[in-house]
Structure 1
């Protein structure tokens, strides 16, 4: 699972690094809702949802799979996405650094250390693993 997470995050980092920042930012902002509530807003929301689903799908598949259920404690899937991809996005948006594979390994290792299922010893209060419903995100 670690290697798969590192690979997914590394690919995401490469996509972020190769995308022209200004054009990508403007395109993303353009997908936001407009205040008039027209059909165009619904279409933009549907497109935004589709883009998000496309990029998070491989993470969802891996983190909701049997290996993750066996190895990791319960967690909030959306928060995990923020924890894993957030540092990559932040580094790109701020220009602090280009995230490389070694950085992705560190991010994944930190995530796994925080969420590994503990066989013995004190238990952390687990968060409830959830997946956003389509109805809630479209309303």
Structure 2
């Protein structure tokens, strides 16, 4: 620092590293983001990379963060069924248009296997990996919390585990995307997901109660 001004060079070198990693991730997936390839693309020294990121795995996690867009939010009005349907339709489009999201989730699902990757510094518990995992979990829970915290949900549904509910609702969309039916029409999948969720957790009608 000189004259109270911060040296801009570290910020520039970090930005070059992230740009190179993101480009490789977009073009070739996680396996393309090797330390050597990033160093060539960013034109920086290996020591510079490790000043910013403790491992190539941390750099890859940071690159994923830069590619994941904000999650969609549910409609503010309508019945519980309509709000869930609107949110899942938005999620279906989101999943189709943001492949980095599914790639990141699959990569994070490796868990401890990340430590077996060819990077001696790699750790599935590193700060960047934890940050990515927490961001995905929190960001994609928020739209469902907006519905699950509503008076509609309290009035129409029995008590349920939110993580299980999200799996029941979003799981079929992820499966459809990962299948060979890349251009599949998600509307029937969304309808079935919502109806299945309401069937499992919906309060019985007064005429059905014992």
CA distance in 1, matches of 2:139, 2:178: 21
**2:103, 2:188 → 1: CA distance?**
30
| Distance across 2 between alignment mates of 1:115 and 1:26 | 30
- Give the TM-score, by structure 1 length: 0.71
Which residue in the other structure is 2:83 paired with? 4
Rg larger in 1 or in 2? 2
Equivalences for 1:1-139 in 2 at 5 Å?
A: 1-20=80-99, 23-28=100-105, 29=107, 34-35=114-115, 41-96=126-181, 98-118=184-204, 119-121=206-208
CA drift at 1:103: 2.6
Deviations 1:7-65 (A, max 9, x none): 11011111111233xx5554441695654686x71222122211221122111120122
Runs of 4+ deviating beyond 6 Å: none
Number of residue pairs aligned between Structure 1 and Structure 2: 121
> Quick one: distance in 1 between partners of 2:200 and 2:189?
17
Q: Output the CA distance in 1 between the equivalents of 2:176 and 2:143.
A: 22
More divergent stretch after superposition (27-36 vs 54-63)? 27-36
- The aligned counterpart of 1:131 is none
CA 103–122 in structure 1, closer or farther in 2 if over 3 Å, else same:
same
User: Normalising to structure 2: TM-score of the pair?
Assistant: 0.49
Q: Which segments of 5 or more consecutive residues in structure 2 lack a partner in the other structure?
A: 1-79, 116-120
Secondary structure of residue in 1 paired with 2:189 = helix
> SS at 1:69's partner residue?
helix
Q: Any gaps of 5 or more consecutive residues in structure 1?
A: 124-139
